[in-house]
Amino acid sequence: MFFKTGEMNISNCDEAKREFLKKCFAFSAGLVFLPSRVSLPGTSDDIPDIYKKVALFQDETARGIMCRICPNECVLKEGEISKCNNRKVYKSKLYTMAFGNPCAVNIDPVEKKPLYHFLPGSRAFSIATAGCNLVCLNCQNWSISQTSPDKTRNYELQPEQAVDECIKSKCSSIAYTYSEPITFYEYTFETATLARKAGIKNIFKSNGYIYEEPLRKLCTVLDAANIDLKAFSESTYLKLSGGKLQPVLNGLKVFKEMGIWLEITNLVVPSWTDNLDEIKKMCGWLAANGFANTPLHFSRFYPLYKLDQLPPTPVDLLMKAAEIASGEGLKYIYVGNVPGNETADTKCPSCGKIVLKREGYRILFNNISDGKCPSCGKKVDGVWN
């Protein structure tokens, strides 16, 4: 069986990075083995298997059925498939092809999402189906994100089974991750609803490219999210990912308003998102809109997918980005994906003492007590237990 081993495809990483990730993976709890099934071709002969769930948030229009989950606003005629590769019209109704059929299942340290201020040291039962509503040139998991569920090898895992497996594996949370959980919205929502009833936390690792109404519904069963803020200009967003910036910014505000613990990741891609003036604008916007206490992860780019001709992000550029973020008033700044040079420790925003120290995905010590710094007694933002 094949499972994704984390948030990153490591096939093109350099040797140092391989060693670093090997060390990190050593602390992962391992794989989950589930009944597998061979994927089926997307033809009308396979209707009982593929058209298994009517999609939420759809409208009938004069031009076809419109999906209202995300700003792509796909309008589809009979038999057509959505831009995210997993919604299809059959007999004038929109169906999701991604329900109970994940192509990736794994147990991960929660730090791998990355979430540094949410139940540190805990394990997340991580699932994904094929599909994504963006087409990022630098996609790390393109082998599952840029295809459809009828073209991947899938595993039988209905929502109630996912919750049962999570409990058996002694995980604190279920993470909807790896590809794009917005595109398997119905599967995410039903699983998260059952998980919450069972006392399990729900984590959303996403590009945040979703409309407000479905997002608000989803937030009623979420506990934490890490959102990729891919750039801070509309033109770069469009050219790099095929999406728009403003819906993501709107979504960040919704997550915050609805009390979801939020962390943000910005992948710094050479010649695309490495403009320090743009990074300064992004950090200024975050500070001005109430995200000063939201952890920001600057992540190093490695040559992947359609940008494999680019060099890795210079480490000194990432450190400058972190300095800019601090200067704009952000309190929790991390630099990731840099073997041997990670900025991963959590410091008290008041006295500056290290309160939680990490090595890779391991917690070396956690001195946070009752959500406070043991040295000065000030609050350290997060969900610590």
Residue range 32-55, pLDDT digits in tens: 555 444 333 333 344 455 557 999
370 assigned to some structural domain: no
Residue 329 has pLDDT above 50, yes or no: yes
Residue 381 has pLDDT above 70, yes or no: yes
pLDDT in tens, 339-353: 877 899 999 999 999
The token pair that represents 89 in the structure block: 């019209």
78, 184: one domain: no
pLDDT of residue 39: 36
353 assigned to some structural domain: no
Check: CB of residue 185 under 8 Å from CB of residue 344: no
The amino acid occupying position 192 is: A
Residue 165 has pLDDT above 80, yes or no: yes
374 assigned to some structural domain: no
Chain mean pLDDT for the chain = 89
153, 74: one domain: no
131, 153: one domain: yes
29 assigned to some structural domain: yes
Mean pLDDT of 123-136: 98
72, 208: one domain: no
Q: Which residues on adjacent β-strands are paired with residue 266?
A: 298
218, 314: one domain: yes
Percent of the chain's residues with pLDDT above 90 = 85
Percent of the chain's residues with pLDDT above 70 = 87
91, 115: one domain: no
pLDDT of residue 52: 72
**Roughly what angle, to the nearest 10 degrees, separates helices 159-168 and 185-197?**
50
pTM above 0.95, yes or no: no
Question: How far is it, in rounded angstroms, from Cα 231 to Cα 240?
Answer: 9
Angle at 382 between CA 355 and CA 323, to 5 degrees: 65
315, 212: one domain: yes
pLDDT of residue 50: 59
Residue 11 has pLDDT above 90, yes or no: no
CA end-to-end span of the chain: 34
224 pLDDT band, cuts 50/70/90, is very high
The amino acid occupying position 148 is: S
pLDDT of residue 40: 35
Q: How many domains does the chain have?
A: 2
pLDDT in tens, 62-99: 999 999 999 999 999 999 999 999 999 999 999 999 99
What CA dihedral angle connects 102, 108, 3 and 302, to 10 degrees?
Answer: 110
Residue 19 has pLDDT above 70, yes or no: no
What domain range includes position 92? Answer: 49-96
CATH no. for residue 259?
3.20.20.70
28, 86: one domain: no
Q: Where are the beta strands (DSSP E) in the chain?
A: 30-31, 36-37, 53-54, 58-61, 64-67, 75-76, 87-90, 93-96, 104-109, 123-128, 154-155, 173-176, 201-206, 224-228, 261-268, 296-300, 333-336, 346-347, 354-359, 362-366
